[in-house]
């Protein structure tokens, strides 16, 4: 079972994080004293503001989408320090029951078909952005272990393992721009090859390019 349900994509957006998901499990009673709300998430983020309905593509109607926003307002208003079985607890359970139909819809065959169309469009975006082939896309989707399926799963694509190793070594502080010794003797290619071999964030395509994935 997937951990996330696709909720929406922001229309006509070049933003990496234009697609939003919610947890399949839904809100629940947490730590024996409060109820969680419905949080947006993606491969690179968690949380954030819900955009206006007119700004997004979603399987939900406007009323259904706004039910989620209203639910969050009311569930947060219950606050903390709730005791299981008290009036606030009963109110929270009632609120959760009131949005089950929305989760049912997001789990429906209709929603799955809608998400498949979004996925195709998102993979088309990646193909154009990084000059990827259908085979490259298949390789990436087969390698990526989360259930997000949009442009954000690709963080960057390097020309080869040496370039990937060089950039990651610099990002991690193993080498510095003004340190000629470490830069001269650091084996970027071997480091890049090991990233591909042992680090889940990196994979090599059939054409030798290296993809940095987002988790």
pLDDT of 177 > 80? The answer is no
Task: Work out the average pLDDT over 25-48.
Answer: 97
- Using the predicted structure, report yes or no on whether residue 199 has a pLDDT greater than 90: yes
What letter does residue 63 receive in the DSSP assignment? H
Residue 184: the pLDDT is 80
**Mean pLDDT value across the chain:** 96
pLDDT in tens, 108-151: 999 999 999 999 999 999 999 999 999 999 999 999 999 999 99
Per-residue pLDDT tens digits for 42-70: 999 999 999 999 999 999 999 999 999 99
Per domain, the residue ranges of the chain are 4-107, 113-213
Q: Is 204 helix (H, G, I), strand (E, B) or coil?
A: strand
């Amino acid at each position: 079972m997937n951990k996330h349900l696709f909720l929406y994509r922001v229309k006509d957006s070049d933003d990496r994080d234009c697609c939003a998901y919610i947890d399949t499990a839904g809100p629940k009673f947490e730590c024996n004293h409060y109820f969680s709300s419905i949080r947006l998430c993606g491969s690179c983020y968690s949380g954030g503001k819900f955009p206006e309905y007119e700004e997004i593509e979603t399987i939900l109607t406007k009323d259904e989408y706004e039910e989620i926003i209203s639910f969050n307002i009311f569930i947060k208003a219950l606050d903390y320090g709730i005791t299981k079985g008290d009036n606030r607890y009963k109110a929270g359970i009632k609120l959760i029951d009131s949005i089950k139909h929305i989760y049912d819809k997001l789990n429906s065959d209709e929603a799955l078909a809608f998400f498949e169309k979004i996925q195709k469009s998102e993979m088309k975006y990646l193909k154009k952005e990084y000059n990827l082939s259908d085979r490259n896309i298949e390789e990436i989707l087969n390698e990526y272990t989360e259930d997000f399926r949009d442009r954000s799963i690709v963080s960057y694509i390097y020309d080869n393992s040496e370039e990937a190793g060089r950039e990651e070594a610099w990002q991690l502080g193993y080498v510095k721009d003004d340190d000629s010794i470490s830069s001269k003797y650091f084996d970027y290619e071997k480091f890049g090859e090991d990233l591909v071999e042992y680090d889940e964030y990196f994979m090599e395509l059939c054409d030798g390019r290296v993809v940095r994935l987002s988790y």
